């Protein structure tokens, strides 16, 4: 059975949940939006931080911790953004780190978005 994770993130008009739990697994995708649903200004560092803050909030709303995260997929729109995203990302995790992959993509759902993550966690 799949259940939605209730968060305090902006309620999207799109047909989606910010996260769901199913069979002891947590699934989420996060973007750099503020409480009004607007993509934050300030370049990749500000967007990476907002994305990771939204992610951490969602993980905790599910009753989990960042230590429960098993895999993260990172999407950025330019190769030179990845080191900046990595610097911010490192502030949110400790070893043993989640498995992860990083992709450079031509664009994301909103033109002004520079990053997005997809992540999974195991319920202890």
Quote the pTM value. 0.97
- Summarize pLDDT for 89-111 with one digit per residue, the tens: 999 999 999 999 999 999 999 99
Dig out the tokens for 43 from the structure.
């370049």
d(CA 66, CA 111): 29
- Summarize pLDDT for 35-91 with one digit per residue, the tens: 999 999 999 999 999 999 999 999 999 999 999 999 999 999 999 999 999 999 999
pLDDT of residue 106: 98
Long-range contact list for 57-60, CB < 8 A, 24+ apart?
57/7, 57/8, 57/9, 58/5, 58/7, 58/9, 58/18, 58/19, 58/28, 58/30, 59/26, 59/28, 59/121
């Amino acid at each position: 059975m799949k259940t939605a994770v209730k968060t305090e993130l902006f309620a999207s008009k799109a047909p989606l949940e910010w996260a769901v739990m199913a069979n002891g697994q947590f699934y989420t995708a996060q973007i750099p939006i503020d409480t009004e649903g607007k993509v934050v200004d300030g370049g990749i560092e500000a967007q990476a931080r907002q994305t990771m803050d939204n992610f951490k909030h969602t993980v905790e709303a599910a009753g989990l911790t960042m230590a429960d995260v098993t895999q993260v997929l990172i999407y950025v729109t330019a190769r030179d953004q990845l080191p900046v995203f990595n610097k911010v990302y490192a502030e949110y995790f400790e070893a043993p780190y989640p498995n992860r992959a990083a992709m450079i993509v031509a664009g994301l759902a909103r033109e002004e978005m520079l990053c997005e993550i997809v992540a999974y966690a195991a319920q202890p």
